[in-house]
Amino acid sequence: MAQIFIEKADEKKLEELNVDSWPIWEKETSKFEWSYDEKETCYILEGNATVCPEDGEFASFGAGDIVVFPAGMKCTWEITVPIRKRYKMG
């Protein structure tokens, strides 16, 4: 079962992960299918989204959250407020 992990970020955690060095991804309000070939860790800078895995429970998250998507997960993203995030694969 695909499990999405979400936690509120604090300055210490962001520093530990070196989030400022990660690339930025942005996407307008939309709904689309996605699959993860490898684990992705991201930090939500702006916006809100809900992700529904094919074989797991949906997760909603927004600005200030660190979100981890497991490798192999297939899901549907629904961005309700345009999103901007930093991300790291692997």
Please give the Cα distance from 73 to 24 (Å, whole number): 21
Tokens of 34: 């996605």
φ, ψ dihedrals at 79, nearest 5°: -90, 115
CA atoms within 13 A on the CB side of 28: 0
Please give the Cα distance from 61 to 83 (Å, whole number): 10
pLDDT tens per residue across span 44-85: 999 999 999 998 889 999 999 999 999 999 999 999 999 999
Q: How far apart are the first and last CA of the chain?
A: 19
**Tokens 């970020």 sit at which residue?**
9
- Domain ranges in the chain are 5-89
CATH ID of 5-89, from 3.40.190.10, 3.40.50.980, 2.40.10.340, 2.60.120.10: 2.60.120.10
> What's the whole-number average pLDDT of the chain?
96
